[in-house]
Structure 1
């Protein structure tokens, strides 16, 4: 029987309609290149032993807060040359891109963990918590010079959603009651409520990150894979097929 169950069983039954394909889905990384390397190695070991070559889907928030955002981007770019991957944009990637041209965004980004990313790229940080306009202008110029062209191109090319079978992958969630094709990008990147508490059938099972949880959160209408890697040291990878689900 083609069914996809949470393990251990709790009565939930999902129907992803993948047509025999397998997927590997990764939660928020936030600059933890060490955890990403370990998760990919676990996946490779399991997939190799089973003769699988899953489509890898990354749910966004590769940068900020953790120490190695540039290394994470390099690893994802390299992985895309070797495997079939889909890397989605998270709100932190959107902030980084916005900070390149908008000093108001840059100021906000500093308080959202962007300071760790700037430090990793070798940018000197302002000494004051409320940097002056001249300090922000100088920092913006440093960032523009420090961000490699291939990182900027990668970030600019990230999609905000991906659908396969009966599954919708986004970073944060969706606006309940709104058609998928009419969702606002800001919601896909930033939303929490009313999405998290919604009991609506969204038409597709939404797989997302963005809101940290202690363990993968399985609901009938959504699955949250953000296990707070930068704080907990746990980066979740979910191996999915039409018949099973497995947290690696």
Structure 2
């Protein structure tokens, strides 16, 4: 990493506003004691679902960014679910089964509160969600990036496809892949920093670092800290 850039890569938040606010506090404290011309936050996706405060997490990221930090927001598979539900309501059942119910509730929509039955149910929920979604939130979800690069690091939500050059990776792998990425020992050209696959702590391998530590399952929210040759972690 460039010596003048201090970067914090934050793993999957999943509606845990309490942990996000606590981790932001830790990042502020850490950055205040370090010399760096630039400070950057890279959020690795999955801001919504499962936790109870998805809307509030997005509100915080939009309206209360950390002062003095550049922010990069990546697309996670759960934001993919959300966006697809708005454009293709028939896809909604798989989203609801993977935590989308709590996201709808955070926007004031009860998925099981007297919706129409049969084929009308999902279009009805989708139209209610679209009406409840602030325009700033829609722009946020539509503007999420697939990748970010800094120094010798590549930041993605899920990982990359082994054997495929980085400039030829496809969106489906970047936001969904687990195997064969997780067991690969291939040098990818950059050290890949990702979330998506939760573990009890950060996972460091020679070719990748995972910072999804299961915030929505009672675990911690983790940030990887990078500057120069430093690699360290902050947690809340």
Q: Is the 8 A contact 1:126 1:135 kept in 2?
A: no
Which of 17, 42, 47 in structure 2 is aligned with 1:57? 42
What RMSD in Å do the two structures reach over aligned CA positions?
A: 1.6
Q: How does 1:24-173 map to 2 (within 5 A)?
A: 24-52=8-36, 54-80=39-65, 82=67, 83-126=69-112, 132-173=118-159
Q: Is the 8 A contact 2:24 2:66 kept in 1?
A: no
Quote the offset at 1:64 in angstroms: 0.3
Quote the offset at 1:49 in angstroms: 2.4
Quote the offset at 1:19 in angstroms: 4.3
Quote the offset at 1:51 in angstroms: 4.4
Q: Is the 8 A contact 1:27 1:226 kept in 2?
A: yes
TM-score of the two chains, using structure 2 as the length reference: 0.93
Aligned residues: 230
Q: Is the 8 A contact 1:87 1:159 kept in 2?
A: yes
Stretch deviating more after TM superposition (211-220 or 227-236):
227-236
CA distance in 1, matches of 2:64, 2:75: 16
Q: Is the 8 A contact 2:14 2:54 kept in 1?
A: yes
Partner of 1:213: 199
Unaligned runs of 5+ in 2: none
CA distance in 2, matches of 1:221, 1:239: 17
CA distance in 2, matches of 1:145, 1:35: 28
CA distance in 2, matches of 1:119, 1:144: 13
Q: Is the 8 A contact 2:161 2:181 kept in 1?
A: yes
Q: Is the 8 A contact 1:176 1:195 kept in 2?
A: yes
Quote the offset at 1:209 in angstroms: 0.2
**Runs of 4+ in structure 1 displaced over 6 angstroms?**
none
Describe the superposition over 1:131-168 as per-residue Cα deviations: whole angstroms up to 9, x where unpaired.
62111121111101111110010110010101111100
Over 3 Å counting, the alpha-carbon distance change for 1:180 and 1:79 in structure 2 is farther
Q: Is the 8 A contact 2:90 2:123 kept in 1?
A: no
Which of 158, 183, 186 in structure 2 is aligned with 1:200? 186
Q: Is the 8 A contact 1:35 1:233 kept in 2?
A: no
Unaligned runs of 5+ in 1: 1-16
Quote the offset at 1:81 in angstroms: 7.3
